[in-house]
Chain A
Amino acid sequence: MTGALAQFKALVGRELRTVARTRVYALLAVGLAGLVVALVAGGGGGQTGYLPAVVDLLLPLELVVPLAAVAVGYRSVVDDLERGELAVLETYDVSPWVYVLAVYVGRAALLAAVLTASLLVSGLVIALASAPDTTVYATHSGVDSPILWGRFLVLTVLFGLVMEALVVLLSVAARSVRAAVVLATGGVLLAAAGGDALIVVGLADGWLAESNLLSALAATPNSAYRGVVFETVIGVAAAGESGYAAPLPSVLGLFGWLVGSLAAATLLLSRRHL
């Protein structure tokens, strides 16, 4: 077990050092921060307060976060597979779960840092640009507050971590770097839009009962993220506005996607190589 821990640390260290020294990731961070600030400023929500900004950002981030996860992680495993690196690591007795978890932690840390920085900068812009009462820390519903922005940040990072796990799985499944781009982009977009589409079709065709709608929304990553944001951020400020989603099942649904993706990646990798 000590060996596995040391190997995990070495692998995470390598991932972190790799991303820290890769210029394209710094550009990604700047680009993403710029995009989020532009959305906040351009949507008008930034001048009004945190909650309007959340409303402005929620839908774009449902697309931007998965794509950022792809940019950060699509090469993570397939690069090592293609270069024969995994065959070398196998001679050091590195187990698939240690490798997958370490690669995931390294890449997820980068994505979390990029998302956190982007939303913190945006939060600062809102604090400077919006009406004075947004600096109030809400103690009751109906008041806009930086705390709500903080919740939004945490939930967005969690959504990003889920998407990164899915991207790592797709990177294990890919046979080449070129295939990995297509697979990761297609996979996350399918997860992002496919779940919602399936729910709509299910309701329209009648095979999904309305009574099961909240469970279905909790089971797909985008609708789970959206639902939790509605329930714990937007709904807080609007008294009586709740019941859009089931918060606990939604959070569990997100964790299910995260753990399930990493477990599937480990299983697939042990069949392929390590």
Chain B
Amino acid sequence: MTTDPILVGEAISHEYGDLSVLEGVDIAVDPGAVTAIVGPNGTGKTTLLRILLGHLSPTDGEVRYTGPEVDRPIGYLPQQPSFRPQFTAAETIAFYAGLLDEPAETEAALRRVGLADAADRRVEALSGGMRRLLGIAQSLVGEPPVVVFDEPASGLDPSMAANAFEILAEQASEGTAVLVSSHDLSLVDRFADRVVFLNRGSVIVSGSPAELAESTNSETLWEVYQSVIREPAARREVEA
């Protein structure tokens, strides 16, 4: 398996009018790994994800996808996945599968996220957590080489949140490049292979959780967060 990044963002900048949201962000997403973007609210995480997805053009910089030419190169789970409430879980996935040239198996997609037993249940009858799992199943339809998850654990109870991240990690172990933005540092610490800290539109530090902990004399990712986001002096030290 290649270890070259499959999705690369180089010197990405983005402005909304006079407001600069991203400044010279470099990011590389490797296949077979979970890459997490972490940072305070309003720091440009979703904008960066939208640019990497190709939904938004950067003001400056470029995005390169170097993976195989497939029906669906990048899968996506939005922050608030929402489906037609009148449809069953199976019908929902079948609809998305029907948008692809290559047939995708609905049952397998639901089984992967543990929703096989709820296949015939209408979306309106699913809990918030189950809807999120349905969203994850949707993001994986067609086996895209890259999958982008925007806050997959947001609003979920701890066990459901861990379940969502376990699915992501399992997907990465099968070779998929997983890019995730999250505020749940304990889950990121546990499941991410590489963490990118974003603050005020710039990458502050990046590396594996262990590397980051070592470079900041921290024991947890939360401590890393505190030192690089909350203490600019310490951040400069890390950068140096």
By a beta-carbon cutoff of 8 Å, the part of chain A in contact with chain B is 2-3, 6-7, 9-11, 13-14, 17-18, 21-22, 83-85, 87-94, 273
Contacts and interface: CB of A to CB of B under 8 A. Distances in A.
A83 B77 CA distance: 12
Given A91-B53, A273-B55, 19 more contacts: A6-B99, A10-B98, A13-B95, A14-B84, A17-B91, A18-B84, A18-B87, A21-B86, A83-B80, A84-B79, A84-B80, A87-B55, A88-B81, A90-B54, A91-B74, A91-B144, A92-B72, A92-B142, A94-B99
Interface in B139-186: 142, 144
Contacts of B101: 2-3, 6
Q: Is the interface of B mostly helix, strand, loop or mixed?
A: loop
Interface in B47-101: 50, 53-55, 71-72, 74-76, 78-82, 84, 86-87, 91, 95-96, 98-101
Contacts of B98: 6-7, 9-10, 13
A235 to B, nearest CB: 45
Contacts of B216: none
B138 interface: yes
B76 A17 contact: no
29 contacts: A3-B101, A6-B98, A6-B101, A7-B99, A10-B95, A10-B98, A10-B99, A13-B95, A14-B84, A17-B84, A17-B87, A17-B91, A18-B84, A18-B86, A83-B80, A83-B82, A85-B82, A87-B53, A88-B96, A88-B138, A90-B54, A91-B53, A91-B72, A91-B144, A92-B72, A92-B99, A92-B142, A93-B71, A273-B55
A22 B85 CA distance: 10
A253 B50 CA distance: 40
Interface of B: 50, 53-55, 71-72, 74-76, 78-82, 84, 86-87, 91, 95-96, 98-101, 138, 142, 144
Contacts of B78: 84, 87-88
B94 to A, nearest CB: 9
A86 B100 CA distance: 16
A138 to B, nearest CB: 45
A92 B95 CA distance: 11
A7 B71 CA distance: 12
A14 B86 CA distance: 10
Contacts of B84: 14, 17-18
Nearest to A21: B86
Nearest to A22: B86
Contacts of A18: 84, 86-87
A108 B179 CA distance: 40
B100 A92 contact: yes
- Report which residue of A13, A14, A94, A273 has the largest number of chain B beta carbons within 10 angstroms of its beta carbon: A14
Contacts of A83: 80, 82
Contact of B72 (A10, A14, A84, A93): A93
Contacts of B91: 17
A92 B54 CA distance: 12
A220 B202 CA distance: 53
Contacts of B55: 87, 90, 273
The 3 A-B residue pairs with the shortest CB-CB distance, nearest first, are A83-B82, A10-B98, A84-B78
A273 to B, nearest CB: 7
A98 to B, nearest CB: 10
Contacts of A3: 101
A92 B86 contact: no
Contact of B76 (A14, A22, A87): A87
Nearest to B78: A84
A3 B72 CA distance: 12
Nearest to A90: B55
Contacts of A21: 86
A85 B55 CA distance: 12
Contacts of B144: 91
Nearest to B71: A93
Contacts of B100: 92
A91 B135 CA distance: 13
A84 B82 contact: yes
Contacts of B72: 91-93
B80 A92 contact: no
A91 B179 CA distance: 15
B95 A14 contact: yes
